Structure 1
Amino acid sequence: MSTDFYQTSILPFAAIIIKICRAYTHSQEDFEDYYQEVCLQIWRSKDNFREQCNWSTWVYRISLNVCLTLLKKKKNNGKTYFTSDVLPDVLTIENRAFEDEHLNQLYVAIRLLSEVDRALILLYLEEKSYQEMADILDTNANNIAVRVSRIKERLKKILHGKIN
Structure 2
Amino acid sequence: MDPQLEKQFVTQLEANQNIVHKICRLYTHDQESHNDLFQEITIQLFKAYPKFRGDSKFTTWMYRVALNTAITLYRKSKRRIKTQDYDNVMFKIASTDYDDTIEEQLKLMYSAIRQLNDIDKALVFLYLEDKPYSEISETLGITEVNARVKMNRVKGKLKDLLKV
TM-score tier, shorter chain, comes to 0.7 to 0.9
Question: How far is the alpha carbon of 1:99 from its aligned partner?
Answer: 2.2
Cα distance in 2, alignment partners of residues 4 and 111 from structure 1: 35
Structure-2 residue corresponding to 1:138 = 141
For residues 84-95 of structure 1, what are the structure 2 equivalents within 5 Å? none
Counterpart in the other structure of 1:61: 64
Answer yes or no: is the 8 Å Cα contact 1:131–1:141 preserved in 2: yes
Match of 2:36 among 16, 33, 36: 33
Deviation at 1:67, TM superposition (A): 0.2
Displacement after TM superposition at 1:98 (Å):
3.6
1:152: which partner in 2?
A: 155
Deviation, 1:28, is: 1.1
- Could you say what the CA RMSD is over the residues aligned between the two structures, in angstroms? 2.1
Correspondence 1:124-135 to 2 at 5 A: 124-135=127-138
**The structure with more helix, counted as a fraction of residues:** 2
**TM-score, L = length of structure 2:** 0.81
**What secondary structure is seen at the aligned counterpart in 1 of 2:159?**
helix
**Counterpart for residue 118 of structure 2:** 115
Structure 1 residue runs of 4+, over 3 Å off? 1-7
Partner amino acid for 1:160? K
Secondary structure of the structure 2 residue equivalent to 1:142 = helix
Q: Which runs of 5+ in 2 are unaligned?
A: 82-98
Q: Which amino acid aligns with 1:19?
A: K
In the TM superposition, 1:63-78 aligns within 5 A as 63-75=66-78, 77=79
Matched pairs, number: 144
Q: Scaled by the length of structure 1, what TM-score is found?
A: 0.81
